[in-house]
Amino acid sequence: MEPLPRGPWPLTCLVLLSLPGVGAQAGQDFKLQQPQDKVSVTAGETLTLNCTTSGDGPIGPVKWLKGWGSENETIYDQTGTIPRVTRAVTESDTDFTIHIRDVRPKDAGTYYCVKFGKSLRGISVFQRGNGTEVSVYAKPSIPEVFGPETRAGPGQSVPFTCTAGGFFPREITVKWLKDGAQISAQQPQVTPGQTKSSYNVSSTVSVTLQEGDVRSQLVCEVHHPTLPAPLRGSFQLSRALRVPPSVQVVADPPSPVEVNKTVNFTCHVKGFYPGDVAVAWLENGMEMSVGSTPPPSETPRGLFELRSLVEVQATEEKNGSVFTCRVVHDAQDPVSGTGTLRIAAPARDGLSGRSQSDNDNLVLIYIVVGVVCTVLALLVAAVLYLIRAKQSKAGKSSPSARLHEPEKSSEANTQESDPNNLTYADLNFDKERKTVRRMVEVSQQSEYACIQSSRAPNGDDNLTYADLDMVHLSKAPRRPAPRPEEAGSEYASVQILRK
């Protein structure tokens, strides 16, 4: 923009014009009117500056200047068109009102409407208005919220900063809200902006993070006179939060286990955020190859969890081995969980001495029942064998017979005291007929057993005896001494002493 003319001539002209009677011929009745003292406008809008003239004035242009003195700046000049500035009434000799489009904060200041006059030595100020002080109401920029550069864990206090700039006037209010509830913050700091008529603001708040802040939102709310509604900037607290995982190793089946069984060690990694995690398995401190780890899944709370599985063959060499699940979360120090493989004492034939499966128990029951039944059968067979052996032995030593004792009649009971009563048993054998020597007890208290055989013994002196142990002899009424039997009969004399 064109500066005001400098040098001694403008000042001289002003002095001459101000003297009584001087310049009256050049426009004594000329008047310049600038009615606006103060004007306020919002940035982005159009500013209107009014200026009119009346009467005859010297030959020379009318200009609009921003500021007065050495730092003045030409805003409008009749000789050309300046961007964003236009005349309200073009080609008018009396109305020099201008429009400034898209007002900016830097457009704030004092504007002068000035009439210049030409002379032989150049152009000079002939008359100026009182000036119009322009204030540009500038809206603040959309707030920006900045959090910490690194994540923090639950329970840690973290600072957050909200900034906005380029606003005018200076008065501004900043509020902080967490999940819609207002929280206390420090007094905002207002500093000059890039231009003298704009300002910047900065506000800081400290927030203690919680595990449940994964879904929480922090809002910076800016209130300013130029705003019909407050402006907002937000920050997701999950961007600043780190929740470490809990690690637990579970064995299925639990120890102790049988030899050669397959044991599944499961690593439960729960309740962590963010989902960046790496899982590794170690056996007695040496890393194992277990393949890829499944991706974590999100819980309703917004946290993550995952399960990693490793299968182990429970051999005797691995008894007491320690299996470690090492978890590295968000590039932090590892978190570990361990499980120990315990093997039960091995049983004979490869079976465990402490536990059996259901099928093995059933087979064992069948075996026990079979053994018991077999033993009982053997005992019965042995008893029968002994009975038969005893009978066979008795048969070889002497012929045996079954002796029947009929029920005693009342008559027999009356005769029992008679010593002449005889009790005898007929023992019949198929032996050859042969005359043998008879030995007969003459005593009336003798009882006889008759043994008949169709086969004669080898010698005359051979006698056949009947063992009448525990045998009841049939009793008969007393009769005379037995008569001689046939030659084929043999007799055994049994003498029973009566009580």
* Domain-located, residue 235: yes
Mean local confidence (pLDDT), 176-191: 95
Kind of pairing between the strands at 144-146 and 189-192: unpaired
Task: Give Cα separations from 402 to 141, 254, 409, 491 (angstroms).
Answer: 134, 74, 21, 16
On whether the CB atoms of residues 287 and 304 are closer than 8 A, the answer is no
* Domain-located, residue 3: no
Give how far the C-alpha of residue 147 lies from the chain's centroid of Cα atoms, to the nearest Å: 29
Mean local confidence (pLDDT), 164-168: 91
* Domain-located, residue 350: no
The CATH number for 15's domain is 2.60.40.10
DSSP, collapsed to helix, strand or coil, labels residue 397 as helix
Same domain, 82 and 110: yes
Q: Which residues contact 93 (CB under 8 A, 6 or more apart)?
A: 53
Same domain, 18 and 116: yes
pLDDT tier, 254 (very low <50, low <70, confident <90, very high otherwise): very high
Structure confidence at residue 470 (pLDDT): 45
Kind of pairing between the strands at 446-452 and 422-428: parallel
Same domain, 440 and 376: no
* Domain-located, residue 345: no
Same domain, 104 and 153: no
Split into its structural domains, the chain has a count of 5
Same domain, 37 and 124: yes
Say if pTM beats, i.e. exceeds, 0.75.
Answer: no
Peptide bond connecting 274 to the previous residue in cis, omega within 30 degrees of 0? yes
Same domain, 390 and 433: no
Q: What percent of the chain has pLDDT over 70?
A: 70
The whole-angstrom separation of Cα 279 and Cα 259 is: 28
Instruction: Find the domain containing 149 and state its range.
Output: 144-239
Torsion of CA 389, 390, 393, 395, to 10 degrees: -110
* Domain-located, residue 498: yes
Lowest mean pLDDT among 33-37, 112-116, 370-374: 370-374
On whether the CB atoms of residues 234 and 222 are closer than 8 A, the answer is no
Same domain, 442 and 497: yes
Lowest mean pLDDT among 73-87, 157-171, 325-339, 358-372: 358-372
* Domain-located, residue 260: yes
Q: How buried is 152 (Cβ within 10 angstroms: 0-12 exposed, 13-18 middle, 19+ buried)?
A: middle
What are the tens digits of pLDDT across the range 339-379?
A: 999 998 755 444 444 444 555 677 788 888 888 889 898 98
Same domain, 170 and 130: no
Same domain, 91 and 188: no
* Domain-located, residue 184: yes
Query: What is the enclosing helix (H) or strand (E) of 87?
Result: strand 85-87
Same domain, 15 and 115: yes
Same domain, 133 and 12: yes
Same domain, 403 and 392: no
Of 217, 239, 261, the one marking the end of a domain is 239
Number of helices and strands in the chain (H, E): 3, 31
* Domain-located, residue 101: yes
What are the tens digits of pLDDT across the range 400-428?
A: 434 344 444 444 344 444 444 444 444 45
